[in-house]
Amino acid sequence: MAETLKGRPKLLDSIPASFILTDIHTRILYVNQQAELFFGYAKEELEGERLRFLFLEEDLLYFLPNIVFLTRYKNGFEGEVLLRQKDGTKIFVHLSTSSFKEGGEVFLTFFFQEIQRLKVLEREKLEMERWASLGRMVEEISHQFRNPIASIGGYSRRLSKNLSPSAKGQACLNQILKQTKRLENILKRVEEYVRIPRPVFQRERIQDVVERVLPEFSNKAQEKEASFRVDTRGMEGDGQLFIDGELIHRVISHLLQNSLEAIQARTRGGLKKVVDVSLFDDGDNVGVSVVDRGQGISKKNLNLIFEPFFSTHPSQVGLGLTFVRRVMEEHRGRIRVDSRLRRGTTVTLYFPKDRRRKVRREFVSPEAREEN
């Protein structure tokens, strides 16, 4: 059997798990390439040894014999096991075993999968379920809060119209209207965050997305006596990416909004404020960098900027950068923030140039073209 398996190495090496075949006494007859890489041993070091040398000393008395018994006489064993790699590192694995007969002999099979990989998949599934549940909850809360907030705002505006500007209660009504508007903005931002849709990836030029966003902030920039300066000299190629254009539009909007809020209006005789938007290509990624010379962020706050509801501006909700990071993670991209207090902030987005594997986007050899 071992010789038969050795004659088909590609088949067994393609299994996405470590595979070990032993005889009835757990003497290792064959290991696939995944097992070599996983445990750190060469094939020659594993084959011929007893399986026990991969187990911890404390598991040799009961645990391993039980696993072998269940494998030989029952339906096999399946569960978590703590094993030892060649360098002595202890590692949790998910072990599945079975047995079969061939030519009158009994053979045992052992499949090992790293727990970490399984836990990542499980965590991603739980995360999706959590966001779906949170979205439903926020939707219900928003519904319950929005109507009372709208009523408070409506009645306050009506009272405000019936009072003269100098009336005693006018200032209080103005504060009520201001805080009502803030509550409405908080609900809007929270809903935006929990309802982020799954990205619909399509080919799109990042330059086109940026050019669509900028006009939306022209009035805000004029109020701050600021302007945008776009630099595409770092681009190589057409800037085509697989992205969700609408989500990235919202991401860049958040960054521009933050930059404009960070800069101070021009003083009399001072230089006009500029927000630089640079596009570049570093070979593996296409990037968008937004640079302002505004208030900046202190070192103690820099590690908190992605936390929900964290903001250095009391009037802001503090979900903008949280939204940005989540969307970038969905795009398998990353975000980097560099800032110095009273010197300004640079936020850079990195998008992988092509999310598809090479085998899907180009011929691997001239001969492959002929198969088309």
Domain ranges of the chain: 2-116, 119-194, 202-352
* β-pair type (285-292, 334-340): unpaired
Q: Which pLDDT score is estimated for 1?
A: 54
CA atoms of 296 and 317, how far apart (whole Å): 18
Domain 2-116 maps to which CATH number in 3.30.450.20, 3.30.565.10, 3.40.50.300, 3.90.226.10? 3.30.450.20
Q: Which pLDDT score is estimated for 372?
A: 40
Strand order, beta sheet including 285-292: 226-234, 273-281, 285-292, 344-352, 334-340
With 0-12 CB in 10 A as exposed, 13-18 as middle and 19+ as buried, what is 352?
A: middle
Q: Which pLDDT score is estimated for 130?
A: 67
Q: Which pLDDT score is estimated for 357?
A: 46
Q: Which pLDDT score is estimated for 86?
A: 93
pLDDT (tens digit, 0 to 9) for every residue of the chain, 372 residues total? Answer: 555 555 555 556 666 789 999 999 999 999 998 899 989 999 899 999 999 999 999 899 899 999 999 999 989 999 888 899 999 998 888 899 999 998 889 999 999 987 766 666 666 666 666 666 666 666 777 777 878 888 888 888 888 888 777 777 888 888 888 888 888 877 877 777 667 778 888 889 999 999 999 999 999 998 888 999 999 999 988 888 989 999 999 999 999 999 998 887 665 555 678 999 999 998 889 999 999 998 898 988 888 888 877 776 666 666 788 889 989 988 989 999 999 988 899 999 999 886 544 544 555 456 445 544
pTM over 0.75: no
Q: Do the domains at 2-116 and 202-352 have one common CATH topology? A: no
Domain 202-352 has CATH 3.40.50.720: no
- Strand ranges inside 122-281, DSSP E: 202-205, 226-234, 240-243, 273-281
